[in-house]
Amino acid sequence: MDRGLTDGWDCLEVGGGGGTIATWLLDRVGVSGTVLATDIDPRFLEVLTHPRLEVRRHDIVTDPLPEAAFDLIHARLVLNSLPGWEVVLDKLVAALKPGGWLLDEEFDSESLPPDPVESPGDVLLQPHVAMARLMTDHRFDRRFGRVLFGRLRAHGLIDAGAEGRMVMVQGGSPGASLLRANYRQLRGPLVEAGYVTERDIDNDLARLEDTEFMTPSSILWAAWGRRPAQ
């Protein structure tokens, strides 16, 4: 991820969450570098104390950013959730110093679905199908990570690249626990929309404990590009 990150760099972490990436950046920018970590709800960031860390409550859609201020900007699972992400991407590019890097990470949940023909235990769960329909209803682009590379190039970034990572989620694994948490959190909206029944959800929650169960995770794409030096 570092794109040459070294002492003295000024970095921006958009949607800082719990601060793990901001902390990682601080370890690498040295005594002369800085990290600005922003979030619309920065309560978990505010517990971090570091002389080179600034935490800021910030809405990336509506609040301004300084222009030509950062050597590296990083965001994870932020752009695809935003209305008018194109304008936000323009804002992030403008906030890069000439020669600065933008690195964004987003999910692609469409390109590699389960294939039960090849692997009988490979299952697409009904709550997952229902989640996909609900996300589409809210204009969430489930292929966003797959096309992110092209979008960075279209916004004028050079030396662009991308790589994807996925895992096979197995019954009883931490990945299965994450799926369970997602299904439980969205249980009400999924049932109310008529996309799945309570019984479907209960059956598939039980399946997540089955050691024979497997399903591919979404692909987490990392895409990067550099603002031209001139």
Query: Is residue 156 in some structural domain?
Result: yes
Q: Render pLDDT for 135-171 as a digit per residue (tens, 0 to 9).
A: 888 778 888 999 999 999 999 999 999 999 999 999 9
What mean pLDDT do residues 10-26 have?
A: 95
Residues near 7 by Cβ (< 8 Å), separated by ≥ 6?
28, 29, 30, 31, 32, 33
User: Confidence class of residue 10 from pLDDT cuts 50, 70 and 90?
Assistant: very high
Domain range for 101: 59-226
Is residue 29 pLDDT above 70, yes or no? yes
Is residue 216 pLDDT above 60, yes or no? yes
Is residue 40 pLDDT above 70, yes or no? yes
Query: Is residue 222 in some structural domain?
Result: yes
Query: Is residue 1 in some structural domain?
Result: no
Query: Is residue 50 in some structural domain?
Result: no
Query: Is residue 2 in some structural domain?
Result: no
Is residue 63 pLDDT above 60, yes or no? yes
- Distance separating alpha carbons of residues 53 and 34, to the nearest angstrom: 6
Query: Is residue 96 in some structural domain?
Result: yes
Q: How many domains does the chain have?
A: 1
Is residue 1 pLDDT above 60, yes or no? no
CATH number of the domain where residue 65 is located: 3.40.50
Alpha-carbon Rg for the chain in angstroms: 20
pLDDT at 111: 83
pLDDT at 112: 78
User: Confidence class of residue 52 from pLDDT cuts 50, 70 and 90?
Assistant: very high
Q: Is the pTM of this model over 0.75?
A: yes
Query: Is residue 160 in some structural domain?
Result: yes
User: Confidence class of residue 126 from pLDDT cuts 50, 70 and 90?
Assistant: confident
Query: Is residue 184 in some structural domain?
Result: yes
Residue with the two structure tokens 């000439």? 98
b/e sequence 168-198, b meaning 16+ C-beta within 10 Å? ebbbebebbeebeeebeebbeebbeeebbee
User: Confidence class of residue 14 from pLDDT cuts 50, 70 and 90?
Assistant: very high
pLDDT at 128: 84
pLDDT at 20: 94
